[in-house]
Structure 1
């Protein structure tokens, strides 16, 4: 199936009755699916079914095999760097919500240099920079000026910011940004609109198309994901997977990756619509790996250390360390932030854990040429 953009392709699945589909899936159906070399989108949905919970061990074994086959015993390390947290959005689940009373900051270029130097001392040569969504306090020009500063410290620069226009993604690539992360947060449009009642992020279609605009601009790596817990997780998992599948097939020169975050406490007074337990997360990650054997899978510090250590063995290819979710947190300390993290280990501690499991931590795998 092909279409002009993912939104057009998604229409085909919008009327899918997930409960009815899952009602016809048995453990035998799952076993038959696992015996296939290549999976269809229907097969992916089978692996997300409640019936597949009885086959998690077999799924984990297949997932581990596919990961080692395509990525070996390597694990890319990274850390996020928050440079601004002013935000115009009213996302009901986020600590950066415009109406939340928090001490907001926007680093100047000298502060960004200090923060970058601190992070670079860990040996990392790639960085992910983040901002809130505020065209006033963190406009595109500010973000790209920060990118220029960061080139003195890092070989690969990724952004996790608001949705850019096509022209601005083109500018970002020209400035040396080689990767981007864009969480759709929730693929169900009706639920999405209730979660994002105001601000630029309320534009569902513009955000959904952002990864594709980044691909067209020439990004080397594009990372997508849904925030599990905002809606029924199996539905969100399915649309995340087929979105990644769509991008992989249409933009073969781009490395497509998926992040798998679960919602966790923040300063917003929000109760998740769907609880996603550990078994659910394992099912999601293993199903993704089997369906998309060559896609990168990223795991954040929202998960506890033991959970992260175990998931490394069955599908994850990129993991964070030394994390702070506060602006300037690498030098000024973590006095709050977007959400609460569960794994506070440093980059050296993460590397030690990886070596103990027989993995090679990767501090650099790309050199941006500008």
Structure 2
């Protein structure tokens, strides 16, 4: 049985002892730019660097690192809520068991397929399935829904990568999900501060801090080497929570030789029958600091910024190190197939801030100089976990992910894009082709792009 590896006192003491100076900050940023993961002590110094000139330097360092490791690629996905039954009482969540105002629903396989088809009609290729914690949502049920998503096709559309956001399982449960080909298994600790965790989780299995914090250990032991962690910022001091995320990362690296594939940093938002204590609410500037410091602390970990945030903040924050965003997001049960414009707080876990269509988000990304990507090649070719790091560390993310991003983007332009998006998108593809220095690689990408124009799909390197 794995141990609870989060030491509250140690993390608090490191923050208190941190003594930022210009020289220390510069040394730490340079270490990160050399693509080395930062220590807890180094990260504490960045967290305590509160002077405007220091914050500006951290922002610039994060931007430089993101460009160096990920280039201008932004991976796109969409969440799909399968069921919102829940036996936990978490005071911040609209789906908590005690909330009698929320509409409870679990999608049937037919309803799930209708949702997937509606997503595919918009051009989605990657999804994360979201479940409440209920005996109805055991590993067998999750596996059945995953298989249904992979088996559902609408014209040229298909979901090629299914990630999971669900309650922690035992090792045997995770093995069942590995067999059906899930992508990343994501568990948010919500808060790493033990006292706060106990306070906000009133009852239910989720109240067990240790069972949750070791949930991804069991996933690793079951052979799932793509895992995602996250914190719900606003429950406790944000600087401490960043330290907790890094401690979790270090634990996974030391025990399993690979850290999390992704880190998420959602903030508390309005939800059905929820009263939010604003003591630890994270403002926009603090969120941007969180993103920049995480980018520097864990150079090879994907950072996910969700549609909880409004469009303008997402636009600003992407520059600081974000590599994945959701777009065209609907978090109501049956939200994609019904496609209602207005949000219904009693049908969703929280209110989202960016409800734009996938095409609108892609159009803005292109005009801001980013390359939208639906790539799933690394996952499907086994370039995950330790293997992913083998490719990532020498800089192969750009070598493989750039060309694969172009191919999946070309598919979107051919099959789903609006005319305005298609025009700027085709121009972007030509610009990106010209940037490929290796003649053989450029010719290979051109050939595959032409195959896509000839109706071939799902091509990748």
TM-score, length of structure 2 as denominator length: 0.74
Query: What is residue 118 of structure 2 aligned with on the other side?
Result: 118
Cα separation, 2, equivalents of 1:118 and 1:124: 9
After TM superposition, which residue ranges in structure 1, 4 or more long, deviate above 6 angstroms?
A: none
Residue 154 (structure 1) shift: 1.6
1:21-74: CA deviations, max 9, x gaps? 25x434554344334444322011111115355412211111111112111211
Larger mean CA deviation between 245-254 and 173-182 belongs to 245-254
How many equivalent residue pairs?
364
Contact 1:79 1:128 in 2 (8 A): yes
Which structure has the larger Rg over C-alpha atoms?
2
Cα separation, 1, equivalents of 2:147 and 2:265: 30
Higher relative contact order (CA 8 A, sep 6+): 1
Indicate which of 347, 350, 354 corresponds to 2:365: 354
Cα separation, 2, equivalents of 1:19 and 1:168: 38
Query: What is residue 437 of structure 2 aligned with on the other side?
Result: none
Indicate which of 275, 282, 297 corresponds to 2:281: 275
Q: Are the structure 2 counterparts of residues 285 and 6 from structure 1 closer, same or farther at C-alpha, using a change threshold of 3 Å? A: farther
Equivalent residue runs for 1:320-339 within 5 Å: 320-332=326-338, 333=340, 334-336=343-345, 337-339=348-350
Contact 1:124 1:364 in 2 (8 A): no
- 2:44 alignment partner, SS class: helix
Q: Are the structure 2 counterparts of residues 14 and 255 from structure 1 closer, same or farther at C-alpha, using a change threshold of 3 Å? A: closer
Query: Greater helix share, 1 or 2?
Result: 2
Residue 273 (structure 1) shift: 3.4
Residue 139 (structure 1) shift: 2.7
Cα separation, 1, equivalents of 2:298 and 2:15: 24
Equivalent residue runs for 1:15-34 within 5 Å: 16-17=12-13, 20-22=16-18, 24-27=19-22, 29-34=24-29
Contact 1:248 1:256 in 2 (8 A): no
* 2:185 maps to 1:180: yes
Query: What is residue 315 of structure 1 aligned with on the other side?
Result: 321
Larger mean CA deviation between 119-128 and 228-237 belongs to 119-128
Cα separation, 1, equivalents of 2:259 and 2:206: 25
Task: Give unpaired runs (5+ residues) of structure 2.
Answer: 152-157, 383-461
Query: What is residue 94 of structure 2 aligned with on the other side?
Result: 95
Cα separation, 2, equivalents of 1:129 and 1:75: 20
Cα separation, 2, equivalents of 1:15 and 1:181: 23
Cα separation, 2, equivalents of 1:297 and 1:15: 22
Cα separation, 1, equivalents of 2:146 and 2:225: 16
